[in-house]
Homo-oligomer: A and B are copies of this chain.
């Protein structure tokens, strides 16, 4: 059985990666939670998210919402790589499943476009960490499906 599609998307233009990196640098929330952008490709993004005491919940794991924040940005920027230079991207909704406690020390956060539409795009993503009991293996921490909207030439983005 085939898995989720991994189409080879054409980038929107030659500057897509620079645009994504610049926008990411303007997301103060990414610095706040300790997320860094590590890969930008057409339709795909990878980030890291570091465990630190300040992003934890009551049991010392990274808060599910913080993992979700990184996953949401990964999906949004994955979609943005395929959008025109003057377009903005807006998350309409997302759904996250939490599969294992986020221990770190460093999560890999991936976002990938599943469907690139003119107005509506869908991206899926995963958060991974070193498996706590199986050396050399990765453990799936969380999955996301996000619905994104391309915004062009509108002032009020959700009118």
Residues on A lying within 8 angstroms of B by beta carbon are 1-6, 23-24, 26-29, 31-33, 39, 44, 46, 53-59, 62-66, 68-73, 88, 90-101, 110, 112, 114-115, 117-120, 122, 124, 126, 128, 138, 140, 143, 145, 147, 149, 157-159
Is A97 touching B145 in the complex (CB atoms < 8 A)? Answer: yes
Nearest CB in chain B to that of A99: its residue: B115
Decide: A145 and B145 in contact? CB cutoff 8 A. yes
With A4-B126, A99-B158: A54-B32 Cβ-Cβ less than 8 Å: yes
Q: Majority SS of interface residues in chain A?
A: mixed
Closest B residue to A44 using CB positions: B1
Q: How far is the CA of A24 from the CA of B58 in the complex (A)?
A: 7
A143 touches B126 (CB 8 A): no
Chain B residues whose CB sits within 8 angstroms of the CB of A126 once the complex forms = 2, 4
15 contacts between A and B (CB under 8 A): A27-B57, A27-B63, A28-B56, A29-B62, A32-B33, A57-B73, A64-B72, A65-B71, A92-B120, A93-B96, A97-B145, A114-B143, A115-B140, A117-B158, A143-B145
A33 contacts across to B, CB distance below 8 A = 32
